[in-house]
Amino acid sequence: MKYSKLFGKTIKADPKDEVSTNAKLLIRAGFIRKEVAGVYNYLPLGLRVLNKISNIVRDEMNRADGQEMFMSSLQNKANWEKTGRWNTFDALFKVKSRFETEYGLGPTHEEVLVPLAKQCIASYKDLPFALYQIQTKFRDEERAKSGILRGREFLMKDLYSFHTDEEDFEKYYERMKLAYKNVFERCGLHAIMTEASGGAFSKFSHEYQVLTPAGEDTIFYCEGKNCGFAQNKEIAGVKAGDSCHKCLESGHNETIKEGKTIEVGNIFPLKTRFSKMFDVVYKAKDGTEQLVVMGCYGIGISRLMGAIVEVHHDDKGIVWPKALAPYQVHIVILGNQDEIRKQGEELYKKLQDEHIDVLYDNREDAGTGEKLADVDLIGIPVRLVVSIKNLTQSPGVAGQNIEWKTRNDAKTELLSFSEVMQKLKR
């Protein structure tokens, strides 16, 4: 993509109506624009990142035998009344029709999927199965000042699993833990699996929490090797400075730490809560009728994008992990001489021929400082500079005239095209 053609340019000053780092940087770098408080539009750069995250999530959910579907946002009021949540789910937007009753505007999908699944479950042979979707959710949140960390409209993956019994559910829950571990690792995030409340229906649930000062949650956690103890403050039986009991048991002494975190995912045993409400039963092997056991598993796709920015940035801009970057390479030409433009164009074409995603800053009317500042702000992993200085600097070494720099390293080096390709493929 040529930067001159790309819709959504960088902005120098911080937007006045944003307080969060993620919104400030993503708006300035041309990834998102605010529609109203808590609601954002994703420009081409932003959508590319959302799609990268979605595809990683999709891949891991498919590996865990999740079947993708796409449920409606306008939801049947009757089912929300059945679960008793029509009047108790505070963040539920209600939508009036001129011709029908009201709808719920999907903040979650149990009220849609459980009655739907019921139609497809008769015998134990129909179980287990897992269904998911990646879809816009709507929640009338009170606070909407965290950019895309907490919005009134956001992109989410929600998966629901259906089982004959607790034992089968537990096995799947462990599979999902592994899938979630993979998702966050592939996204370049260190997410701490944290014990949290299971609500009124289950002893526990697990949240995936990312440490950052921008977080709205607080967790207590242990950094002891192979320990993994972490609890949400809301249920924690420990405090900062305590010795970690789990480590003590294995003869180590570790101290509990406290941290601000962003919740990027959660996994939740639903037990028979919803199957009871909708009478979702199956005929067991012994001929008896049994309630289906359920679990649900969420990942905030757009929130994860915000969390990445909160964790991976510096004072110059965003530092995208390779797997999520909108493009792999950002070419900049410095100077408008014919030779420079020709070399830039050639490099752009050659990288495209090698199926590398490239953003090519070919602007004529932008200066060196502006171009290099934009590269740092946008945060693509590799910067390649074509300039007269680089073309003439090392005349003795044939072809080594492309300046390579990675976003998170100050060092630059002059490379030939084949050396660039070698480094990109690493």
CB of 73 to a second copy, least distance (A): 6
Give the binding site for a second copy (CB under 8 A). Answer: 4-9, 33, 35-37, 39-44, 46-47, 50, 65, 67-76, 90, 93-100, 103, 105, 112, 116-117, 119-120, 125, 129, 131, 136, 138, 140, 142, 144, 152-153, 365
Nearer to a second copy, 228 or 367 (CB): 367
CB of 258 to a second copy, least distance (A): 30
Q: Supply 226's token pair.
A: 């192979």
CB of 107 to a second copy, least distance (A): 12
Distance (Å, rounded) from C-alpha 229 to C-alpha 211?
A: 14
Nearer to a second copy, 98 or 425 (CB): 98
Residue 410: count other Cβ atoms within 10 Å of its Cβ.
6
Q: Which helix (H) or strand (E) holds 344?
A: helix 338-353
Q: Which of 52, 49, 11, 8 is nearest to 28 (CA)?
A: 11
Q: Supply 276's token pair.
A: 């009871």
Nearer to a second copy, 74 or 356 (CB): 74
Is the Cα torsion angle 85, 88, 89, 92 positive or negative in sign?
positive
Nearer to a second copy, 224 or 295 (CB): 295
CA Rg, the chain, in Å?
25
CB of 45 to a second copy, least distance (A): 9
CB of 108 to a second copy, least distance (A): 14
Q: Which residues contact 350 (CB under 8 A, 6 or more apart)?
A: 417
Q: Supply 187's token pair.
A: 């996204």
Nearer to a second copy, 100 or 409 (CB): 100
Distance (Å, rounded) from C-alpha 240 to C-alpha 315?
A: 30
Cα 416 from chain centre: 35
**Conformational region of residue 280, where left means phi above 0, alpha means psi within -120 to 50, and beta covers everything else:** beta
Nearer to a second copy, 105 or 264 (CB): 105
Nearer to a second copy, 68 or 339 (CB): 68
Distance (Å, rounded) from C-alpha 121 to C-alpha 117?
A: 6
CB of 32 to a second copy, least distance (A): 10
Nearer to a second copy, 78 or 388 (CB): 78
CB of 66 to a second copy, least distance (A): 10
Nearer to a second copy, 95 or 248 (CB): 95
CB of 268 to a second copy, least distance (A): 20
Q: How far is CA 19 from CA 247, 262, 316, 401, in A?
A: 39, 16, 17, 42
Q: Which residues contact 123 (CB under 8 A, 6 or more apart)?
A: 282, 283
Q: Which helix (H) or strand (E) holds 352?
A: helix 338-353
147 burial (CB, 10 Å; 0-12 / 13-18 / 19+) is: buried
CB of 383 to a second copy, least distance (A): 23
